[in-house]
Amino acid sequence: MPNRSKAPSFTTSFDISLGEISQTKLSTGQTIWHIPADDSEITRIDVIFPSGRRNETRKGQSRLCIKTVTEGSKNMSGDNFNEKMDFHGAVCQSSAGMDYTSFSLIAMKQHLPALLPIWLEMILNPVFPAKNIGQKKNLAAEQLKRELAKNSVVAYRELTAHIFGKDHPYGYNTEPKHYQALNSEHLLDFYNANISIAQASFIISGNIPKKLDDSLEKFCKKSESQASISKPILKNNYSIIDREIEGLQDNQYTLRFGRRLFEFDHDDSRHFQLLNLVLGGYFGSRLIKNLREEKGFCYHIDSTVDTMKDDGYFSISADINPENVQATQSEIIKEINILRSELIPEEEFRIVKNYLKGQLLTFIDGPFAKASLLRNYLVKGSNPLYFNSLSKDIEETTREDILNMAIKYLDPEQLNKIVVGK
């Protein structure tokens, strides 16, 4: 019979590194990252372009453009393309980010020879047919209408608009009228000005066919795209508000607190991530313990850090019964003030550090998790190999570092406070 009163022994020295990945450069200049897993039957290819919402000349342009790239190319209709992808059980994804655009192909290795050429053809030679664009615009507008019926969506939009400014690419809110004002030409303009194969990077993960680099290189050589990408400077119009907004739903109010932070690679980023964990970033956090597990005020409450290439923000989010909204706001401020005035207890700090190290292992669990991790670095213009030093950074962070982060960034007076309800 085991001794149940004594916890089993454990270790916290894990190998938290990206392991077997390599990068090569094509003769055409593009970097390719390889994350091989020969026992998998799947190959995943990501292609990343360093331009996105920040390069728009019209609101809604990048998203609609990227979502409609596969509607048709010079040599193939969108219908034909979709049929071929579906018939081979392949998945095509696209992502229109703030600072980047990416396309992904996920397929059984044996189908790659049939799919790779048409996928590259589609994403590199789109024509944006007017009829398809009309349908996509309507669908996007109707989807937006459904989203806006959620208090949490209304709150998120209000917060980011105030943190970055209502015309800032990181902060503006898309409205149905923005989609309606766009036409094929606007999408083609965005594409031609910003999506250039010369600027692309690739990540190949899973079962990697031997000659895949050669195939990609051939394609890069014959590609005609010549975009010279604009590098707009972002101007922030930070403002602080404390307001209540009418929402459609009234059983609960959505509460969002937040403030501007810093970019992905900022010196404070790693220390702040630990502070965020302590406050509301995991299930053992102070906000969860206080407001959910001790008071039963809410089902979820959390805090998050979202950093982009050139800026970022911190936010706290919860859905609360109307009668507990005031009390919840006071408790959040109370928890923040404790973090600003007291060193975090050693025991709690040790647990948070161990927990975070375990989390880092989930980011490198298998080739596709690693591919996502790499992608997250690359789209922010950062070097994925920084990941290998995170574990050491965590070890070296002190309780004083956390206190300093709280003093520097979590002044309650500097927080935007938004409540959405009836």
Site for another protein, residues 344 to 363, rule: CB under 8 A: 350-352, 354-355, 357-359, 361-362
For the record, the structure tokens of 382 come out as 């950062």
Rounded CA-CA distance 2/41 in Å is 42
Closest CB 24 distance from another protein, rounded Å: 23
Is residue 408 close enough to count as binding another protein by CB under 8 A? no
Query: Dihedral through CA 314, CA 229, CA 116, CA 139, nearest 10?
Result: 60
Strand duo 242-246 + 91-96: pairing = unpaired
Q: Which of 78, 81, 104 is nearest to 91 (CA)?
A: 104
Nearer to another protein, 99 or 302 (CB): 302
Least distance to another protein, CB of residue 299, Å: 4
Q: Interior CA angle at 51 toward 49 and 57, to 5°?
A: 145
Which residues are paired to 320 by β-bridges?
253, 298
Is the CB of 21 or the CB of 200 nearer to another protein?
A: 21
Size of the site for another protein (CB under 8 A): 76
Judged by CB under 8 A, does residue 297 bind another protein? yes
Measured at the CA of 106, the angle between CA 105 and CA 111, to 5 degrees, comes to 95
In whole angstroms, give the CA distance from residue 133 to residue 150. Answer: 27
Shortest distance, CB of residue 398 to another protein, whole angstroms?
19
| ∠ CA 215-221-222, rounded to 5° | 95
Site for another protein in 253-282 (CB under 8 A): 282
**The one segment of 47-55, 81-89, 308-316, 393-401 that binds another protein by CB under 8 A:** 81-89
User: Taking the complex as a whole, how short is the minimal distance between the CB of residue 303 and another protein, in angstroms?
Assistant: 17
Stretch that binds another protein, among 185-193, 318-326, 394-402, 403-411 (CB under 8 A): 318-326
Q: Does 82 bind another protein (CB under 8 A)?
A: yes
- In the complex with another protein, the residue whose CB is nearer, 57 or 110, is 110
Query: Shortest distance, CB of residue 231 to another protein, whole angstroms?
Result: 35
As measured in angstroms, the least distance from the Cβ of 359 to another protein is 7
List 34, 88, 266, 270, residue binding another protein (CB under 8 A)? 88
User: Residue 87 class from Cβ within 10 Å (0-12 exposed, 13-18 middle, 19+ buried)?
Assistant: exposed
Q: Which is nearer to another protein, 283 or 386 (CB)?
A: 283
Instruction: Kindly state the smallest distance separating residue 177's Cβ from another protein, in Å.
Output: 14
Strand partners, 301: 318
For another protein, which is the closer residue by CB, 3 or 226? Answer: 3
CA 49 to CA 196: how far, in whole Å? Answer: 7
Query: Nearest CA to 401 among 349, 337, 360?
Result: 349
**Which token pair is 258?**
């937040």
Structure tokens at 47: 């292609």
Q: Which stretch binds another protein (CB under 8 A): 288-296, 308-316, 336-344, 411-419?
A: 288-296
Q: Which of 167, 185, 246, 294 is close enough to bind another protein by CB under 8 A?
A: 294
Distance CA 306, CA 61 (A): 22
Asked if 352 and 277 count as a contact pair (C-beta separation under 8 A), the reply is yes
Pick the binder of another protein from 57, 75, 93, 143 (CB under 8 A): 143
Closest approach of another protein to the CB of residue 384, in Å? 17
36 binds another protein (CB under 8 A): no
